[in-house]
Amino acid sequence: MNEQELVGRLKAGDESAFRFMVTSWQDMVYNTALGFVQSEMDAEDVAQEVFVKAFESIQGFKGESKLSTWLYRITVTKCLDLIRSKKRKKRFAFVQSLWGYNDELVVDPADFHHPGVAAEKRQQASALLRAVESLPEQQKIAFVLTKLEGLGHKEVGDIMGTTVPAVESLLQRAKNNLKKKLENEYRNKP
């Protein structure tokens, strides 16, 4: 089934078309989410939310981009929403601890397992992904989509709603920031 036919069937509420969409893109959505949220459980939750959102908003899909590009956009948005939500909760927990309401800070687990990262490289990947987490939002999106998901600059530009030169600029700034952060981390290790 071609993409136009799939979209038409999705808009008509065809459940088998929805199952086909989920089956076709679930790994892409999950791996992209995992690259952003760095937690398998959170990535699974985001993936479910992405497909629910896609099903609910398929009527608004105009076909100006590929369906996969649209799904990437939804995935990135859902991931950033989750990250922002967690940051707000952490800040609230920190404020509570300062005022004595709660003695423990909420901290995300440091363990990270991405299917594209070999076991022997996990420690280095973990350091890199901690550094990626600290990048400004637009740099993080460009870096994750190109380096972890392997997308081309044009597709990343389409997903982000920007130009190829802007993506290249974001990637260059991300690389420079990551280099500084990782140099500092390894320089300060005993």
Give tens-digit pLDDT for 33-59: 998 888 899 999 999 999 999 999 999
- Answer yes or no: are the C-beta atoms of 1 and 86 closer than 8 Å: no
Q: Give percent of the chain with pLDDT exceeding 90.
A: 49
pLDDT tens digits along 118-170: 554 666 667 777 788 889 989 999 998 888 788 899 999 998 999 999 999 99
CA pair distance 15, 188, nearest whole angstrom: 55
Cβ neighbours of residue 128 under 8 Å, at least 6 residues apart? Answer: 178, 182
Residues of the chain with CATH 1.10.10.10: 110-190
Residue 100 C-beta-side C-alpha neighbours within 13 Å: 0
The CATH number corresponding to 1-107 among 3.30.460.10, 3.60.15.10, 3.40.50.150, 1.10.1740.10 equals: 1.10.1740.10
Asked if residue 188 has pLDDT above 80, the reply is no
What pLDDT, on a 0 to 100 scale, did the predictor assign at position 105? Answer: 35
Greater model confidence, 190 or 50: 50
The whole-model pTM stands at: 0.65
**pLDDT given at position 89:** 59
- The answer to whether 59 and 99 are in contact (CB under 8 A) is no
27: pLDDT strictly greater than 50: yes
Query: Is residue 115 scored above 80 in pLDDT?
Result: no
Positive or negative, the CA dihedral 69, 73, 74, 76 is positive
Please identify, in words, the CATH class of the domain defined by 110-190: mainly alpha
